Structure 1
Amino acid sequence: MREDSGRSADGRHGIAGGAVKGSALASFADAVPFRLPQDLIEWVAKFDPQVIYSPLGSIRMMSAALQLSQRFDIPIVPHFMDDWPSTVYMDDARYFPLRRILRNKLEKILSRAPFGLTICDDMSGEYGRRHGMRFEAFMNCVDVPAQSVGEARHGGGEVVFGYVGGLHLNRWKSLCDVAAALQAAKDAGSDVWLDIFAPEADIRAYRSEFDGFTAVRNMGSLGYSDVRETLRNYDVLVHVESFLPADSRYTRLSISTKIPQYMAAGRPILAYGPDTLSSIAYVARVGAGLAVTKEGDVPGLLDGARRLIGLPGLRTQLGETGRNVASERHDAARERKRLMALLASAAAKGEA
């Protein structure tokens, strides 16, 4: 179990537990009865926490959080980054016993939670209805520039689209549709390009899928420290999701970490994916970009791309709207204070 800690103003603490991932072969090991090690119990007693914060994610992690909560009589604040309670152990009928154990553990966790945290408003609403309790949306945080970052500067009328993210979960298929739309714009005379940045393994696996698009200028990988400045080099940023139901059930209630980064960069977003997915709906709802939500709608993507290529004012408007939303909802300094306030309120309820 990974633990990180932070000290509160009165000298006491909270415990943060991270989710653990296992292979299919280790699935049943997740349900093996778990007992807190004595050295951990002694460390926690010395640490003197007021609240346990954890994204959970596995039966063993829930067991650890639950036992600590019960032993030290402190509340748990779970933070759901995606809808894993609905997807874990759902791929094989042999895992049905694990599903029952997981649901039972989760019910016990939530019974010791004054409220829960989620990754977005959509998840908070659904989880509130599902579990009959309060959930607060606490979204991905980024450093937001205090002022507009200005437009990207390219020679002549060149407009460059950029994609930063994974190509797994069949996102590469959706990105190929975007590439096809930009290729059509290029063939019709627009000076438009697409750069794709993804993990090295994804680039190796899917590079050949984009070989036929001369509009795709670069394919490579970025280090995390390079993402912020790189995003500002583009006129339009692209976000895609898979239309396949098997993929959508994993991403339906999640907000991609890239969305706040895109918004903070002050660039308009061309989003492509089902409107039932929170990431796509969020971009459209806050007015940070254009969303195309019909599968295979290359003409719709072409229409959106042409608007973004030909209307610099629209690019500026959408980019500024996104940056303002990032400042209001994703600014790291502001959200850290809000998180501390939420955890302090949970601790206070635990001591009442």
Structure 2
Amino acid sequence: MTREAPRKRILLLTDIPPCSNLTAGIVTAQMCRFLPKDELAIFCVMNPHLRPMLCDDLAGIEMKTVRKPTELQRRVLRGIRVGRAGAAAIEAMKRIALPRRLIRQAIAYGRAVGATDLWAILQGQTMVRIAAPVARGLGVPLRVHVWDPLRWWLDAHGVDPVNRRLDLALFDRTLQQAASCAAASIPMARHYEETYGVPSTAVIASIDPALAQAPPPKLISDDSVVIGMVGQFYASEEWAQLVTALKIAKWRVGERKVVLMTFGHERPPNDVPDEHLRFMGWMDQPEVIRTLAEHCDIAYCPYPFAERMAEVSRLSFPSKVPTYLAAGRPILFHGPSYSAPYAYLNERGAAYLCRDLYPSAVYNGLAHLIEDSTLYEATALAARGAFLADFTLPRMERAVRRFLGYEGGKAGQAHGLEVV
């Protein structure tokens, strides 16, 4: 008589819940769908300013939400200037006092739901400060999930050098104590496994293969070219170089008028004339993919060249890339040659790669794709092939379940997803 393996109960410790209107929440939601609802509970430490739209199909998952402390260091507090030293002192006090309450709450909740594993998303200093203590308090394996290097978050939130150094050291110790790691890219997984000795798996945003669009043999129109851009403008300097190049060229490539079509919560930075911009606002992913396929000729993917962003470029992977590949559109990639997306797209031949920041480089790349019909068609075909090979839901499901410690056999058929 064989003994059944004990049933898992994963506690997800996150700062953004599974949802349909925030990028991290969309990917987390898809990961949650790979697990039976009764094997998952969520403890969400959320910024009170966020307004996530929760997913109806995940409504049955138990969830407790608490307030996340402010992570942005301010030198003016309630109208009083505290200066650099004061801001650092306040951060030090938050480091000592606030995590204790969050840790106690998370442990109590984890015990109440019978947690057997802790899946902790390490986004921001608060989550890094509480993840390992919660796992220790529950006596369960710690499975860490990293979207972007912590250094980038600390820079973006103006954290002072002393607290920054302490948080980075704590991040290192947390990775060393983890039982497994979900990383944002293959280079990140490889780097963390080599550096910390933690078994690491690349878990990248993926899409239902039924949404894949047929690649175009040529540009949609004979007199214009539409460039699609999805998501946030964190690579703002690169975007500015594209806009500068198009301004210099009077918004034309040869005889074709250039139009930028952008998708997201905010209009793009820099001045783009109304006749050359179509701001589509926020759309759900299937609609974005269909719109790109029907109305865009080229998908633009900027990635940071700045030295301060080098770690992000090397280790992270933009979620817009799978969306572009599913749309079957050739990608104009504008980023450094050492970056994770550059390495992947170069290997797959699914993009024209502009590895210089300057306006002339990105404009020449755009012109090559437009004017060389053979290159355009081949790049579009490679994009579809890359999507089907690497970014479908069954592949993502296998990676997620490996990370969460589901051993052997088929990865299950949660929510009707079949692994092939």
Calculate the TM-score normalised by the size of structure 1.
0.80
Of 77, 95, 109, 1:31 maps to 95
After TM superposition, the structure 1 = structure 2 runs for residues 105-254 of structure 1, keeping only pairs within 5 Å, are: 105-145=170-210, 148-151=213-216, 154-156=220-222, 158-168=224-234, 169-177=236-244, 179=246, 183=250, 186=253, 188-189=254-255, 191-197=256-262, 199=264, 201-203=266-268, 205-206=269-270, 208=271, 210-211=272-273, 217-225=276-284, 226-232=287-293, 233-254=295-316
Kindly indicate whether residue 377 of structure 2 is the aligned counterpart of residue 316 of structure 1: yes
Residue 95 of structure 1 and its aligned partner are, at CA, apart by: 2.4
Residue 55 of structure 1 and its aligned partner are, at CA, apart by: 1.8
**What residue in structure 1 maps to residue 365 of structure 2?**
304
**Aligned partners of 1:124 and 1:99: how far apart in 2?**
23
Q: Is the CA contact (8 Å cut-off) linking 1:15 and 1:53 kept in structure 2?
A: no
Q: In structure 2, what residue type is equivalent to 1:52?
A: L
Residue 141 of structure 1 and its aligned partner are, at CA, apart by: 1.8
Q: Is the CA contact (8 Å cut-off) linking 1:120 and 1:255 kept in structure 2?
A: yes
Q: In structure 1, what residue type is equivalent to 2:200?
A: F
Indicate how the Cα distance of structure 1 residues 159 and 220 shifts in structure 2: closer, same or farther if over 3 A, else same. Answer: closer
Residue 47 of structure 1 and its aligned partner are, at CA, apart by: 1.1
Kindly indicate whether residue 71 of structure 2 is the aligned counterpart of residue 71 of structure 1: no
Q: Is the CA contact (8 Å cut-off) linking 1:55 and 1:79 kept in structure 2?
A: yes
Residue 76 of structure 1 and its aligned partner are, at CA, apart by: 1.2
**What residue in structure 1 maps to residue 109 of structure 2?**
43
Residue 110 of structure 1 and its aligned partner are, at CA, apart by: 2.3
Identical-pair percentage:
17
RMSD: 3.5
Structure 1: tracts of 5 or more residues without a match: 347-352
**Aligned partners of 1:326 and 1:29: how far apart in 2?**
47
Q: Is the CA contact (8 Å cut-off) linking 1:175 and 1:240 kept in structure 2?
A: no
Q: Is the CA contact (8 Å cut-off) linking 1:89 and 1:99 kept in structure 2?
A: yes
Q: Is the CA contact (8 Å cut-off) linking 1:171 and 1:241 kept in structure 2?
A: yes
**Aligned partners of 1:22 and 1:67: how far apart in 2?**
19
Partner SS for 2:233? coil
**Aligned partners of 2:405 and 2:165: how far apart in 1?**
32
Partner SS for 1:35? helix
Indicate how the Cα distance of structure 1 residues 159 and 133 shifts in structure 2: closer, same or farther if over 3 A, else same. Answer: same
Residue 255 of structure 1 and its aligned partner are, at CA, apart by: 1.2
**Aligned partners of 1:111 and 1:262: how far apart in 2?**
35
Residue 93 of structure 1 and its aligned partner are, at CA, apart by: 10
Indicate how the Cα distance of structure 1 residues 94 and 137 shifts in structure 2: closer, same or farther if over 3 A, else same. Answer: closer
Q: Is the CA contact (8 Å cut-off) linking 1:51 and 1:74 kept in structure 2?
A: yes
Q: Is the CA contact (8 Å cut-off) linking 1:123 and 1:253 kept in structure 2?
A: yes
**What residue in structure 1 maps to residue 71 of structure 2?**
22
After TM superposition, the structure 1 = structure 2 runs for residues 326-345 of structure 1, keeping only pairs within 5 Å, are: 326-345=387-406
**Aligned partners of 1:110 and 1:83: how far apart in 2?**
12
Q: In structure 2, what residue type is equivalent to 1:63?
A: R
**What residue in structure 2 maps to residue 267 of structure 1?**
329
Q: In structure 2, what residue type is equivalent to 1:31?
A: R
Q: In structure 2, what residue type is equivalent to 1:260?
A: P
Q: How many residues align?
A: 337
**Aligned partners of 2:302 and 2:351: how far apart in 1?**
13
**Aligned partners of 1:7 and 1:237: how far apart in 2?**
29
Q: Is the CA contact (8 Å cut-off) linking 1:194 and 1:217 kept in structure 2?
A: yes
**What residue in structure 2 maps to residue 62 of structure 1?**
128
Partner SS for 1:308? helix
Residue 12 of structure 1 and its aligned partner are, at CA, apart by: 4.3
Calculate the TM-score normalised by the size of structure 2.
0.68
Kindly indicate whether residue 324 of structure 2 is the aligned counterpart of residue 257 of structure 1: no
